[in-house]
Structure 1
């Protein structure tokens, strides 16, 4: 009996008193496989947030939002086209209006045409914050185009870059397209309505890089110097997305690389901030081509300037502009 008692006695191993449990190489593992089976080390106690409640509790959700990172990423789904856009730099105290201003550039949908929804809620009000609507980091917000006056059909045609569809949707003065509202317009109101629709189509097509549609719209009177409600021109969104063909077309129609939006950004400053070096050089080159009054890329002066810009020369001149 004494021998058995001695055999069951474990040897003490030197170590720090009160420390974490360590595996004993002389002891069998919990599965009976012998030495080497590690005894799990107990995990340190995790601090619990004060006031934390069960899953699904509104207080728990609210607290989770408060504890979340100050800056997070969200996705926005343009329901009518199926496109998904990634919006960085979101905050819980960000207003819906601020989000719309970002989407004006990121999604290429003018501010006034945006209708935002989250989960099964109604339309998100501009003055409300994302926290008020319980928007969580990584959540998906639905973006829809206002359906009144045929705006959805117009935006989708511009997204596709389909000039034949655009020609039937009231983007030129010789169009026969009518809506419930426009059929009652007088001549002045009619021209203003056409101009607004042509601009909106140009804005969206420029963002998507639909150069054929952009050329069609410019040839039929679309104003590339027009502004969205946040002060952006179609050149702003073409530059932000680095759409070189659309940039060239608009510069040929006297679009300016120095027009400022409500945040003070120009098309040139946008490409610098977004690090689109090729677009920056391209815009710089075409700016001077237009300023010198030549559109011939084979012109010796233009060709020489292009080679210098392509090689990275002229950064000082770019900064001066």
Structure 2
């Protein structure tokens, strides 16, 4: 196994670390740091990130090949320092997982990951088309998770078109982005973001990819995700400003058209002015007013018609303005959040090192105070920067050893 594929598990239990071995489907062997009071279910959650194999298809065995019970601890199962736990998968997954670890793309495509390639098993024979398609996509997603962990770009290129939903997750709520971040695979993080995976997706423990990069001690991946989040925010600012300009122009056009069309004249000539109508009605010798009031004067009748028309125009205008008002309300809510950022020159992309980025954050903090905003968020980022810088000098990046 290459050095770059070594799993990162050190920071899961730092209190009383104990080294044990994990043999993955008989092909890879890792040494990981755990504590003997760790429950089996916790170990399985950790190994989802450390191996790329989803939690729900794992089977952990020790010594006599009996499956370890989730609620038991490693000590309950007599696991000793240096002991070897076998990570197996359920029989329906074993061949697929094995081929995915080995990167055998041609064989993988014939194992029920593609609807266009015939595949039959005792399970699929009883499935309808909809259920079978969901089952096939689930298998493709498992291969993708393993491919991301192995940093096998060629395998990911072949599997990604088969995983149409970029929000597909493991039972623990994790996306391939979480797996890549936990193992410090920055190139794979960029690859996944370019392919449309969500940067801010959270797992069931409410952790984003950047949180896992920090938890496992990968400052480079953490900084890359942090900068990607800022770039995404900057794009959001540009989109917000365009929406706001569109909303303003729409409201301006509606106001102008409303003023012009508040009076629509007679039925024969919609553009006719009230004065002209009064003159015409006054010159008619047979004019006897409205049916309800034969003595009604032309001026009064025209005034009523004008008022009625303007009310209809106002009602229509209010209905048409609902969408514009909702759009502007949404823009304003976003605008309040990003106002301090908009007033600082866009130097996010030009920050090449931690010192220049610190200067940018300090400038941003000053702008926040000028606009009356609390700078707690900026303080958090500065603290994050200090932690990253500290870890880059003092944290040992070696998480586990390959002893296979």
Q: For the superposition of Structure 1 and Structure 2, which TM-score range results when normalised by the shorter chain?
A: 0.5 to 0.7
Aligned twin of 1:99: 43
Work out whether residues 23 and 86 of structure 2, in 8 Å CA contact, stay in contact via their aligned partners in 1.
Answer: yes
Aligned twin of 1:79: 25
CA RMSD, 1 decimal? 2.8
Structure (1 or 2) with the greater helix fraction = 2
Aligned twin of 2:212: 270
Q: Secondary structure at the match of 1:226?
A: coil
Work out whether residues 224 and 250 of structure 1, in 8 Å CA contact, stay in contact via their aligned partners in 2.
Answer: no
Alpha-carbon deviation of 1:138? 2.0
Shift in CA distance, 79/155, structure 1 to aligned 2, threshold 3 Å: closer
Q: Secondary structure at the match of 2:116?
A: coil
Q: Distance in 1 between matches of 2:49 and 2:43?
A: 10
**RCO comparison, higher one (Cα < 8 Å, 6+):** 2
Aligned twin of 1:308: 351
Alpha-carbon deviation of 1:160? 2.6
The answer to whether 1:186 aligns with 2:128 is: yes
Alpha-carbon deviation of 1:195? 1.5
Q: Secondary structure at the match of 2:22?
A: strand
Choose the corresponding residue for 1:238, options 180, 184, 196: 180
Work out whether residues 75 and 141 of structure 1, in 8 Å CA contact, stay in contact via their aligned partners in 2.
Answer: yes
Shift in CA distance, 213/306, structure 1 to aligned 2, threshold 3 Å: farther
- Structure 2 spans left out of the alignment, 5+ residues: 1-14, 237-346, 362-377, 385-404
Q: Distance in 1 between matches of 2:45 and 2:348?
A: 36
Aligned twin of 2:98: 156
Q: Distance in 1 between matches of 2:96 and 2:70?
A: 24
The answer to whether 1:172 aligns with 2:114 is: yes
Q: Distance in 2 between matches of 1:214 and 1:121?
A: 33
Q: Secondary structure at the match of 1:189?
A: helix
Alpha-carbon deviation of 1:100? 0.8
Quick check: which has more Rg, 1 or 2? Answer: 2
Shift in CA distance, 309/254, structure 1 to aligned 2, threshold 3 Å: farther
Q: Secondary structure at the match of 1:75?
A: strand
TM (norm. structure 2) is: 0.53
Alpha-carbon deviation of 1:281? 3.1
Deviations 1:132-155 (A, max 9, x none): 21111221111112112xx11211
Alpha-carbon deviation of 1:169? 1.8
Q: Secondary structure at the match of 1:191?
A: helix
Q: Distance in 2 between matches of 1:120 and 1:136?
A: 14
Shift in CA distance, 74/184, structure 1 to aligned 2, threshold 3 Å: same
Work out whether residues 224 and 235 of structure 1, in 8 Å CA contact, stay in contact via their aligned partners in 2.
Answer: no
Shift in CA distance, 180/224, structure 1 to aligned 2, threshold 3 Å: same
Query: Structure 2 matches for 1:17-96, cutoff 5 A?
Result: 70-81=16-27, 83-91=28-36, 93-96=37-40
- Structure 1 spans left out of the alignment, 5+ residues: 1-68, 294-303
Choose the corresponding residue for 1:146, options 60, 83, 90: 90
Aligned twin of 1:215: 157
Alpha-carbon deviation of 1:312? 6.1
Work out whether residues 172 and 221 of structure 1, in 8 Å CA contact, stay in contact via their aligned partners in 2.
Answer: no
Q: Secondary structure at the match of 1:87?
A: strand
Alpha-carbon deviation of 1:251? 0.9
Deviations 1:284-314 (A, max 9, x none): 4445566739xxxxxxxxxx85552456644
Q: Distance in 1 between matches of 2:59 and 2:25?
A: 10
